[in-house]
Amino acid sequence: MECSVICHQNAQRQQAEQRANTVTWRERLYRWRQLRRERYALRHLSDDMLKDIGISREAVQRESHRPFWDDRGWRR
């Protein structure tokens, strides 16, 4: 009896973890829109502002030319 309760709890925990690791299309689209806005804003910062945050103009160009779906570090 005790084993079945523990097994059931483990199964519930695994299902909850799977749901937490699953990214919905709505979340993904929201993140892509966010990335596009951030890269657009970064591209339009002045050289002085970039110097303040420690990013070179070349790094900004590389980042801003990446496609919106290229999101290293985002959970997949």
The structure tokens 């799977």 sit at: 18
Cα-trace Rg, the chain? 21
Distance from CA of residue 33 to its chain's centroid? 11
56-70 pLDDT, tens digit per residue, is 999 999 988 888 888
Closest CA to 66 of 36, 26, 37: 36
Domains of the chain, residue spans: 22-67
From 30, 21, 24, select the one nearest 75 (Cα to Cα): 21
Joined together, the tokens standing for residue 48 give 């002085």
Q: How do residues 9-54 score in pLDDT, each as one tens digit?
A: 777 777 766 666 677 889 889 989 999 999 999 999 999 999 999 9
The distance from CA 13 to its chain's CA centroid, rounded to whole angstroms, is 24
Q: What is the pTM of this model?
A: 0.61
